[in-house]
């Protein structure tokens, strides 16, 4: 063993050794610069850095705002995605709002970082904004930093997840539009389709939660819509256009329009309301329908009486001159189920009618009208939804509600009629007593009318409805007179 004193160094000896090494390196650098070509020197420098510079364990991906001449989809997806990842530790935020937006738009400011988790690992996002030397051009990009071992998973699974979630966020924030050929878009109505369609924001408040409809029927419709959205590849594989047809049928006032609004609000699909009486012929019908957009609901209300839609037998009997200038059933079927049906994706077609029996069977078969939804008279369960919507209470908590539910289940009354009754007064007891009186009266009217119909064989269904409307107006007039005579 050597004594420890043999390995001790004095400060002067260390300084002398450092000076000698520094002088040697300076001499070596001078000789390298004078006698070694530039390309070879660069090679030596890179080789030196490779061996003596510690290797980083992280990788940083730059996501520019633009990708070539186009907008970078990943940048926009990251901007939308990170809005939901902002936490309390963030120190600087950007806030903005346009006149049409209902909520503020919040995003991170330059220099801020957001840490996200992915499959048990952390990734770090940084927003960078830089200007050129002249200060007239701003470059915006995100830096995504993560461990190198995560490269494959981040570049595939994680970024795919970011894009998918951003699309879902955009759908939820999207303002649904209502299109009509009778509405003209104003200068500030951006995003409207072409083809002489005007649009306004669809601000109908109807949702599946507020819809006075049988719960099982609502669930069936929701499940069908969800299945439709998820089956892009299925429709492509089986060779069918990605569309779905619904027929809503039932008496007036049973909520057909409210159901369409609930579907649009649930899917965030625009609604194209088409009045067939405004269409000259099949050619114009085709041009108008081709101008609709993807992810939309095409609505044709009262298909049995909205226009001169001829049945197939009548079309065969009519010559070409007479058929010209009319929208025919064949013209509609050709677009719904013919070659033109493959135009566009995620299309929903909704027909409504008060009389399903009047429609040609060709329009009703699966593939054209895939789902038939009977919008029936209100039930006791539907009334509970109405009571919650209009009076803000649980129907089970009021003694009159049970009586009303029994009465409703034993007669025919529409949700629209009940909704009107629930708006008659601010006092809950007064309103519910009025509903009891209304339903009892309606039950008696129906009973008397059925007796009258059974005695007179010549009375048809339409006369039945007209008689009911007359009795309703007469009853409403009596109630109005009573309210006028009431003193306050």
On whether the CB atoms of residues 326 and 349 are closer than 8 A, the answer is: no
Average pLDDT estimate for 129-157:
83
For residue 298, give the nearest of 272, 278, 262 by alpha carbon: 272
3-state helix, strand, coil split of the chain in percent (to 5) is 50, 15, 35
Is the pLDDT reported for residue 48 higher than 70? no
- Rank 320-334, 419-433, 439-453 by mean pLDDT and report only the highest: 419-433
Every domain of the chain and the residues it spans: 58-173, 178-374, 381-485
On whether the CB atoms of residues 295 and 191 are closer than 8 A, the answer is: no
On whether the CB atoms of residues 129 and 110 are closer than 8 A, the answer is: yes
Name 182's Cβ contacts closer than 8 Å, sequence gap at least 6.
198, 275, 278
Average pLDDT estimate for 210-217:
89
Q: Between these two residues, 459 and 445, which has the higher pLDDT value?
A: 445
Please give the pLDDT value at position 187.
Answer: 42
Please give the pLDDT value at position 49.
Answer: 64
Name 357's Cβ contacts closer than 8 Å, sequence gap at least 6.
none
Q: Two tokens at 103?
A: 């909520």
- Report in angstroms the alpha-carbon separations of 435 from 38, 61, 213, 235, 403: 97, 66, 18, 48, 10
Reported pTM:
0.67
Average pLDDT estimate for 291-315:
72
Is the pLDDT reported for residue 486 higher than 70? no
Rounded to whole angstroms, the Cα distance separating 174 from 104 reads 14
Report helix, strand or coil for 143.
strand
Rounded to whole angstroms, the Cα distance separating 257 from 236 reads 31
Q: Between these two residues, 226 and 330, which has the higher pLDDT value?
A: 226
pLDDT band at 191 (very low <50, low <70, confident <90, very high): low
Is the pLDDT reported for residue 220 higher than 90? yes
Please give the pLDDT value at position 51.
Answer: 60
Q: Between these two residues, 272 and 107, which has the higher pLDDT value?
A: 272
Rounded to whole angstroms, the Cα distance separating 189 from 223 reads 33
On whether the CB atoms of residues 354 and 302 are closer than 8 A, the answer is: yes
Is the pLDDT reported for residue 145 higher than 90? yes
Taking only the tens place, the pLDDT of each residue in 408-425 is 988 889 999 999 999 998
Is the pLDDT reported for residue 162 higher than 90? yes
Rounded to whole angstroms, the Cα distance separating 315 from 332 reads 13
Least-confidence region, from 149-158, 353-362, 428-437, 467-476 = 467-476
Instruction: Report the b/e string of 288-304 with b at 16+ CB within 10 A.
Output: bbeebbebbbbbbbbbb
Q: Between these two residues, 3 and 173, which has the higher pLDDT value?
A: 173
Q: Between these two residues, 281 and 48, which has the higher pLDDT value?
A: 281
Rounded to whole angstroms, the Cα distance separating 304 from 332 reads 13
Q: Two tokens at 4?
A: 């420890």
pLDDT band at 143 (very low <50, low <70, confident <90, very high): very high
Least-confidence region, from 4-8, 238-242, 349-353, 398-402 = 4-8
Q: How many CB atoms neighbour CB 360 within 10 A? A: 18
CA-only gyration radius of the chain, Å: 36
Taking only the tens place, the pLDDT of each residue in 97-134 is 877 667 788 888 888 888 998 888 889 999 988 876 66
Rounded to whole angstroms, the Cα distance separating 357 from 308 reads 17
Sheet holding 296-300, edge to edge: 198-201, 177-180, 270-273, 296-300, 347-353, 243-249, 371-374
pLDDT band at 221 (very low <50, low <70, confident <90, very high): very high
Rounded to whole angstroms, the Cα distance separating 269 from 326 reads 30
On whether the CB atoms of residues 327 and 285 are closer than 8 A, the answer is: yes
Please give the pLDDT value at position 478.
Answer: 46
Bridge partners, residue 93, by sequence: 108
Kind of pairing between the strands at 198-201 and 243-249: unpaired
Is the pLDDT reported for residue 2 higher than 70? no
Taking only the tens place, the pLDDT of each residue in 288-298 is 888 888 889 99
Least-confidence region, from 113-122, 151-160, 318-327 = 318-327
On whether the CB atoms of residues 75 and 64 are closer than 8 A, the answer is: yes
Name 342's Cβ contacts closer than 8 Å, sequence gap at least 6.
241
How far is C-alpha 361 from the chain's CA centre? Answer: 32
Average pLDDT estimate for 377-396:
85
Q: Between these two residues, 415 and 328, which has the higher pLDDT value?
A: 415
Average pLDDT estimate for 165-172:
84
Taking only the tens place, the pLDDT of each residue in 278-287 is 777 888 888 8
Average pLDDT estimate for 308-333:
58
Taking only the tens place, the pLDDT of each residue in 6-21 is 555 677 776 777 777 7
- Report in angstroms the alpha-carbon separations of 444 from 28, 175, 291, 438: 113, 46, 50, 10
Q: Two tokens at 333?
A: 């079927």
Q: Between these two residues, 347 and 480, which has the higher pLDDT value?
A: 347
Kind of pairing between the strands at 105-108 and 113-118: unpaired
Q: Two tokens at 19?
A: 């000076």
Please give the pLDDT value at position 13.
Answer: 74
Q: Which fold would CATH assign to domain 178-374?
A: Rossmann fold (3.40.50)
Instruction: Report the b/e string of 117-131 with b at 16+ CB within 10 A.
Output: ebeeeebebbbeeee
How far is C-alpha 94 from the chain's CA centre? Answer: 26
Rounded to whole angstroms, the Cα distance separating 286 from 263 reads 25
Please give the pLDDT value at position 396.
Answer: 66
Q: Between these two residues, 153 and 33, which has the higher pLDDT value?
A: 153
């Amino acid at each position: 063993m050597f004594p420890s004193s043999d390995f001790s160094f004095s400060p002067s000896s260390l300084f002398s050794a450092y000076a000698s090494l520094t002088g040697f390196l300076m001499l070596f650098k001078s000789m390298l610069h004078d006698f070694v070509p530039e390309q070879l020197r660069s090679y030596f420098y890179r080789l030196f850095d490779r061996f003596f510079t510690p290797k980083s364990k992280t990788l940083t991906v730059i996501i520019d705002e633009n990708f070539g001449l186009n907008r970078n989809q990943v940048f926009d997806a990251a901007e939308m995605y990170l809005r939901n990842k902002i936490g309390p530790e963030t120190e600087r935020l950007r806030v903005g709002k346009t006149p049409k937006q209902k909520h503020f738009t919040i995003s991170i400011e330059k220099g801020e970082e957001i840490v996200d988790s992915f499959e048990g690992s952390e990734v770090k996002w940084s927003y960078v904004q830089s200007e050129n030397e002249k200060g007239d051009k701003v470059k915006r990009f995100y830096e995504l930093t993560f461990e190198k071992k995560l490269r494959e998973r981040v570049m595939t699974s994680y970024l795919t997840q970011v894009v998918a979630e951003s699309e879902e966020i955009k759908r939820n924030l999207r303002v649904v539009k209502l299109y009509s050929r009778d509405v003209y878009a104003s200068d500030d109505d951006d995003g409207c389709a072409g083809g002489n369609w005007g649009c306004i924001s669809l601000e109908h408040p109807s949702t599946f939660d507020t819809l006075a409809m049988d719960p099982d029927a609502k669930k069936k419709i929701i499940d069908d819509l969800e299945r439709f959205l998820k089956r892009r590849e299925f429709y492509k594989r089986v060779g069918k256009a990605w569309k779905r047809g619904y027929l809503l049928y039932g008496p007036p006032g049973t909520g057909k329009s409210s159901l369409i609004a609930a579907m649009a609000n649930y899917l965030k699909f625009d609604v194209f309301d088409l009045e067939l009486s405004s269409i000259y012929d099949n050619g114009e019908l085709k041009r108008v329908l081709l101008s609709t957009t993807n992810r939309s609901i095409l609505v044709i209300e009262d298909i049995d009486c909205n226009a001169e839609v001829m049945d197939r037998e009548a079309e065969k009997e009519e010559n070409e001159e007479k058929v010209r200038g009319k929208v025919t059933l064949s013209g509609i079927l050709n677009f719904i189920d013919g070659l033109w049906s493959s135009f566009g994706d995620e299309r929903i077609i909704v027909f409504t009618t008060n009389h399903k029996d009047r429609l040609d069977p060709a329009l009703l078969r699966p593939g054209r009208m895939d789902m038939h939804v009977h919008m029936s008279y209100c039930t006791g369960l539907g009334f509970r939804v109405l009571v919650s919507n209009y009076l803000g209470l649980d129907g089970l908590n009021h003694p009159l509600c049970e009586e009303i539910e029994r009465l409703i289940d034993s007669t025919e009354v529409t949700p629209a009629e009940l909704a009107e009754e629930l708006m008659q007064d601010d006092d809950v007891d007064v309103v519910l007593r009025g509903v009891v009186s209304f339903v009892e009266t309606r039950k008696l009217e129906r009973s008397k009318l059925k007796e009258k119909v059974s005695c007179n064989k010549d009375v048809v269904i339409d006369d039945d409805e007209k008689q009911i409307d007359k009795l309703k107006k007469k009853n409403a007039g009596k109630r109005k007179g009573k309210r006028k005579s009431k003193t306050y």
